[in-house]
Each structure stands twice: as C-alpha cells, then as structure tokens.
Amino acid sequence: MSKKDKNENIEDDDFDLDMEDTTQVEEQSGEEQLKEELGKEKDKFLRLFAEFENYKRRTSKERMELFKTASQDVIGSMLPVLDDFERALLHTEDDKEAEHLRKGVLLIYQKLLSTLEKNGLTKMEIASGDAFNADEHEAITQIAAPSDDLKGKIIDVIEKGYKLGEKIIRFPKVVTGF
C-alpha cells in the first residue's frame, strides 16, 4: 500500500465515522422529538380529561339546580292554598256546628303541610317583638310603636314566610314599629 492509498483509507474511515455520528445525532434528535411529542400529547390528554370531568360536574350541578327550581315553582304555587287552609281553620275555630268540617279541613291541612315539609319546605318562625331584618323580612307598613322597646322591631306578621332548603321562597310580610 502506498501512502496515497493509506491517506484515502484514513479519509474513508473518517467519513464513515462522521456518518455514524450524524446518524446517532439524528436518532437522538428523533428520539427527543418523539419524547417531546409524547409529552405534548399527554398534556393535551390530561387537559381534555380535566375539562371533561369539569363538564360532567357542571352538568350534574345544573341538573340538580333544575330539579330544585322546578320543585320551588310547584311548592311556591301551593303556598296560597296553605294560607287558605290556615284562614279556614281560624274561621271555623269558634263555630261549634262546624266541628266536623273543621276536623276534615285540619286533616287535609296537616297532610298538605307534611307533604310540603317532606319536599324541604320549612316555615320561618317569626314573632312579634323580633328584630326586623331587611334580608329576611318584607316590611308592608310601619306604624307607631306601642312602646319604646318595639321601635324598629316587628309588631305584627301579616303573612308567614317559607324556606325551601336554605333559600327563602317567600319572605314573611310584617308590620314594623317606628
């Protein structure tokens, strides 16, 4: 072998080494690209999964709210009937001849009241002399307080208030003193 052949051989070996290095770099960069793409896809999947979970929770919550508001409308429309039963009971209280009628009305009233209570209706307990709270009471009118201790307080309850769960569906109508 001559020196020229040896130099060419060495150059060929160098070229082969350079090709192997380039191939390894391309493989590494290809592998890194695949890892990067995999990471992006995982991130995209996790975000999509979280978004779907939030969607499920939101629709479930909206569905529950819909059921609550649907029953709120029905129960709210039954409140005047409940008031009428209470007025009928007060009217027949003194009449001895209507005792059987009173018992029948009382049974129907109690049944209606228990049914509404099973569906979450509660009566707001308010008495004369309680402090007036604009967030919980509806003032119909103000009258002169019979005594100084009733100023700014409830003097009379005109119409009872009711809650459905924690939400007030009908504010009690009251008369306050000044």
* CATH code of 139's domain: 2.30.22.10
Strands 154-159, 121-123: pairing kind:
unpaired
**Rounded distance between C-alpha atoms, residue 105 and residue 108, angstroms:** 5
The pLDDT assigned to 9 comes to 54
Residue 48 has pLDDT above 90, yes or no: yes
Question: What's the domain count of the chain?
Answer: 1
How large is the average pLDDT for residues 103-131?
A: 93
Q: How confident is the model at residue 14 (pLDDT cuts 50, 70, 90)?
A: low
Q: In this structure, is residue 83 part of a structural domain? A: no
Residue 19 has pLDDT above 60, yes or no: no
Residue ranges making up the domain that contains 164: 121-178
The pLDDT assigned to 111 comes to 97
Residue 143 has pLDDT above 90, yes or no: yes
Residue 24 has pLDDT above 90, yes or no: no
Q: In this structure, is residue 33 part of a structural domain? A: no
Q: Two tokens at 134?
A: 């604009």
Picking from 138, 132, 128, 130, the residue whose alpha carbon sits closest to that of residue 162 is: 138
Q: In this structure, is residue 7 part of a structural domain? A: no
Q: How far is CA 59 from CA 43, 66, 126, in A?
A: 24, 10, 37
The pLDDT assigned to 67 comes to 78
Q: In this structure, is residue 140 part of a structural domain? A: yes
Q: In this structure, is residue 36 part of a structural domain? A: no
Q: In this structure, is residue 116 part of a structural domain? A: no
The pLDDT assigned to 6 comes to 52
**Rounded distance between C-alpha atoms, residue 42 and residue 49, angstroms:** 10
- For the stretch 77-112, pLDDT in tens is 999 999 999 999 998 888 888 889 999 999 999 999
Q: In this structure, is residue 128 part of a structural domain? A: yes
Q: In this structure, is residue 104 part of a structural domain? A: no
The pLDDT assigned to 4 comes to 55
